[in-house]
Amino acid sequence: MKTFRCGDVVPGCQREFLGADRDAVLAQVAEHARADHHVEPDPALVRAVEANLHDAPERD
Ligand SMILES: [Zn+2]
């Protein structure tokens, strides 16, 4: 699982995302960017997300 914290890119945003892989997280972030930041996802956004993508701690 991968996680991404929007606040790492957009100061003040509290949204966090959890997905099975990079693409799953990116899909959620793209939707959030459009809905809440009124930003169209572009290559720069994809790079910013990839740069701040973390492995989720395994829980069992
Ligand atoms: Zn955000």
DSSP 2-60: EEEEGGGTSTT---EEEESSHHHHHHHHHHHHHHHH-----HHHHHHHHHT-EEPPP--
Q: Decide if 7 is inside a domain.
A: yes
| pLDDT given for residue 46 in this prediction | 96
Average pLDDT score over residue span 20-49: 96
Judged against a pLDDT cut of 80, whether residue 58 lies above it is answered with no
Looking at every residue in the chain, the average pLDDT score rounds to 95
| pLDDT given for residue 57 in this prediction | 84
Q: Decide if 12 is inside a domain.
A: yes
pTM value is 0.90
Q: Decide if 32 is inside a domain.
A: yes
Q: What is the greatest pairwise CA distance in the chain? A: 37
Q: Decide if 60 is inside a domain.
A: no
Cα–ligand 1 centroid distance for 56 (angstroms): 19
Q: Decide if 13 is inside a domain.
A: yes
Asked if 29 contacts 17 with a C-beta cutoff of 8 angstroms, the reply is yes
| Residue numbers of the domain that contains 47 | 2-55
Structure tokens at 8: 């790492």
**Number of compact structural domains in the chain:** 1
Cα–ligand 1 centroid distance for 9 (angstroms): 8
Residue pLDDT, tens place only, 17-30? 999 999 999 999 99
